[in-house]
Structure 1
Amino acid sequence: MKILKTTLGIVAIAFITLTIVSCKDGKKEQNNADGNHSEMNHDNSDGHHDGEKKAISMSENGSGNTQDVLDDYFSLKDALVADDNAKGTELGATLAKSFGNLDISKYTDTQIADLKDIIEDAVEHAEHISESDIAHQREHFKILSKDVTDMVAITGTEITLYEQFCPMYDGGSSWLSMDKEVRNPYYGSQMLKCGKVQREIN
Structure 2
Amino acid sequence: MKNLKMSIAVMLLLAVSFTNAQEKEKMNHKHGEMEMDHSKMKMDKMNPAAETVLADYFMLKDALVGDDTKKAAQSGSKLVASLKKFDKSSYSKEQQKELADIIEDATEHAEHISESAIDHQREHFKTLSKDITDMVAITGTKSTLYEQFCPMYDKGSAWLSTSNEVKNPYYGSKMLKCGKVQKTIQ
**TM exceeds 0.5?**
yes
1:178 to 2:132 alignment? no
The 8 Å contact of residues 153 and 170 in structure 2, kept in 1 or not, is answered as yes
Give 4+ residue runs of structure 1 displaced > 6 Å after superposition. Answer: none
- Structure 2 counterparts to residues 94-173 of structure 1, below 5 A: 94-173=78-157
TM-score, length basis structure 2: 0.75
Match of 1:75 among 51, 54, 59: 59
Output the CA distance in 1 between the equivalents of 2:48 and 2:164. Answer: 24
In structure 2, the gaps of 5 or more residues are 1-45
Look up the SS of the partner of 1:162 in the other structure.
strand
The residue correspondences of 1:183-194 to structure 2 (distance < 5 A) are: 183-194=167-178
Give 1:80's aligned amino acid. L
For 1:91, the equivalent position in structure 2 comes to: 75
Unpaired runs of 5+ residues, structure 1, are 1-61
Percent identity over paired residues: 65
Q: Which amino acid aligns with 2:97?
A: A
Q: What amino acid does structure 2 have at the position aligned with 1:103? A: D
Pairwise CA distance, 1:159? 1.2
- Per-residue deviation, 1:121: 0.2
Count residues in correspondence. 141
State the TM-score, normalized to the length of structure 1: 0.69
**Alpha-carbon distance in 2 for matches of 1:67, 1:75:** 12
Alpha-carbon displacement from aligned partner over 1:107-133 (angstroms, at most 9, x marks no partner): 000000000000000000000000000
What's the CA shift for 1:187?
0.1
| CA distance in 2: counterparts of 1:158 and 1:119, whole angstroms | 20
The answer for the alignment partner of 1:199 in structure 2 is 183
**Which amino acid in 1 is paired with 2:69?**
N
Secondary structure at 1:183's aligned position in 2?
coil
Indicate the RMSD between aligned Cα atoms, in angstroms.
0.7
| 1:49-87, Cα deviation, whole Å (9 max, x unpaired) | xxxxxxxxxxxxx63111000000000000000000000
Q: Deviations over 1:134-183 (max 9, x none)?
A: 00000000000000000000001111100000000000000000000000
